[in-house]
A and B are shown apart, each in its own frame.
Chain A
Amino acid sequence: MISQNHMSLTDNQVKFLEEKANLIRQSIIEMLLEAKSGHSAGPLDMSDIFSALYFHILRHKADEPTWSERDRLVLSNGHICPVLYATMAHSGYFPVSELKTLRKFGSRLQGHPHREFLPMLENSSGPLGSGLSQAVGMAIADRMDNGKVNKKFIYCLLGDGELDEGQNWEAFMLGAKEKLGNLIAIVDRNNIQIDGFTDDIMPISPLFDKFKSFNWHVQEIDGHNMCSIETAIETAKAVSDKPSIIIAHTVPGRGVSYMEGRYEWHGTPPGISNVEGAPDKAKQGEVALEDLRTLHGRITSEHK
């Protein structure tokens, strides 16, 4: 209803954001190849959403990271930080060349985000299930200071596997109780976690109904469609009497043909092990980058 009159992105804007997402994905692969450890599937599948956020939606200043009026972005599932680091670098927070220090001794880019090393982060994270609570706290504090005038928004990005953590549901209850219209959560619904498919490890469906029953405003989108991402977030912004959550359906490993849909790539980087259905480990990096540069992976998946 609210988004009826909303003009979504122009073709040029979509193209721009998709190109940024592609660059972010290439950086993710390059970082992981260099680090020889880290997570692949989640960072790749969240690249479109990160691109939309940092290059279109968020109010932020890369040259003034502590600008007090900035929107806040809380990454709850810290293990997908390669996509956060890559997006921040491409946004100008720090040099793209620094991405190759990921997970190395002395690097600002810790294996899981740590504010002590990279103070421009809003939060340190890694242990799952506590990001939403922090975002709720930020949203309550902003309400205390600014009332219901939504100058800024608090975004929280979560994984679907981490919804197994009970603390999330404590936060969902509080967010609804406090009617936090300034809070927008986005769940990466990629259906995988370390040990396998979410439906096998711990079924969490039906997510839409669960969130709705917790009294949140719920939307369900294709997490790779820039217009859907943008429209959903704009709709969420317009909901002022309750917090919003967007279930973003994504394909794990998106963009790299041999990783797409496979939980084996949740916590494995390219280039270190031979995985069923994937090229020899020596070739994995090359193939992944080739897929991204030619958009091969994406075309393949659309023809499935």
Chain B
Amino acid sequence: MNLNPKIFDKDVEQVPIRKGFGEGLVLAAEKNKNVVGLCADLTESTMMHLFKNKFPERFVEIGVAEQNLASVASGMSAMGKIPFISSYAMFSPGRNWEQIRTTICYNDRKVIIAGSHAGVSVGPDGGTHQAVEDIAITRVIPNITIISPCDAIEAKKATLACLDVKTPVYLRLAREKTPVITTDETPFVVGKAQTFYEANKALLKKEKIDVGIIATGSLVFKAIMVARNLEKKGIAANVLNLSTIKPLDTEAILNLAKEAGAIVTVEEHQTAGGMGSAVAEFLASSHPVPIEFIGVQNKFGQSGTPEELIEYYEMGESHIMKAVERVVGRKI
């Protein structure tokens, strides 16, 4: 997978995922002259300023008006542009959900919706700004692709890859610095999940792995750390990086479920309606196995440091570890 060789080092480099979006957008704009950027008064915070500085004539400042943001982009798409719109996930796709549903998706106008500051790791701003419902509300819309990159490098590749996606895209981005897991050489394909940690079955003298961990976004790193620690306890766990949440890579999920016989899903989102729900909906009807869900459980966020909040909302490494133990215990 050509992952970052320093991934297990204490001083692994940390970069905000949204920065990858900013850099990827510049690359996309260099590649295609029809790329335009629209922002609702959060240009620097969503890293769209990198694009704005380089292509000021292709940037539109919408003001604090996310509903307008979505529909103006729809109109620009109708004229042949490829609009990228950015705001915080809480406001876009949060506040402007119906505009995304009707004027973008129903209207079949390709717009890339970059929602930054997703998850509780937004930190001190508090619960109003922590989108933990965004996957659920976008996942139910037909004609949309949802990508949730695990680090800045994957975010850069995902942003560039949006040029070739046929449908509207929701690109889910996190605010905080996140350990860099991937490298420029790590493969990224929209719609394809990648195994980011493979248990050493030979060492553990096992024919099959004990559990499959499916993670997305900023928590993929923690899932990898857990899988590595599980190995020391004699438990074989693979980690699947599910960077595209819709459409689901059903083949990869099915193969993992068949081998492991138990799944833990990990996401910085409500457990209701999120990535784990998508996985469960698929497996329930194709290959039912026990599943445990790591995510926010029916609560709003609050102020704190990202680490404090990840712990409080039970999405830390210890929680993933316990979920693995629970799900392995449930195996028939």
Residues in chain A within 8 A of chain B (CB atoms): 72, 74, 114-116, 122-127, 129-130, 133-142, 144-145, 166-167, 170-171, 173-174, 177-178
Contact = CB atoms under 8 A, between A and B. Distances in A.
B72 A134 contact: yes
B73 to A, nearest CB: 6
B36 A144 contact: yes
Given A124-B102, A134-B103, A144-B36, A167 B81 contact: no
Given A114-B106, A116-B108, A140-B72, A130 B67 contact: yes
Given A123-B74, A123-B107, A127-B102, 17 more contacts: A74-B75, A116-B108, A123-B75, A123-B78, A130-B71, A130-B102, A133-B70, A137-B72, A137-B77, A140-B76, A145-B79, A167-B65, A170-B65, A173-B63, A174-B62, A174-B72, A177-B63
B85 to A, nearest CB: 10
Interface in B55-92: 57-58, 60, 62-63, 65, 67-68, 70-81, 83
A246 B182 CA distance: 56
Contacts of B70: 133
Interface residues of B, number: 29
Contacts of A125: 102
A124 B78 contact: no
B243 interface: no
A138 B79 contact: yes
B99 interface: yes
Interface of B: 36, 57-58, 60, 62-63, 65, 67-68, 70-81, 83, 98-99, 102-103, 106-108
Contact of B79 (A114, A115, A142, A174): A142
Contacts of A173: 63, 65
B107 A124 contact: yes
Contacts of A133: 67-68, 70-72, 74-75, 99, 103
7 contacts: A125-B102, A133-B68, A133-B70, A133-B72, A133-B75, A138-B75, A141-B78
Contacts of A114: 106
A144 B106 CA distance: 26
Nearest to B77: A137
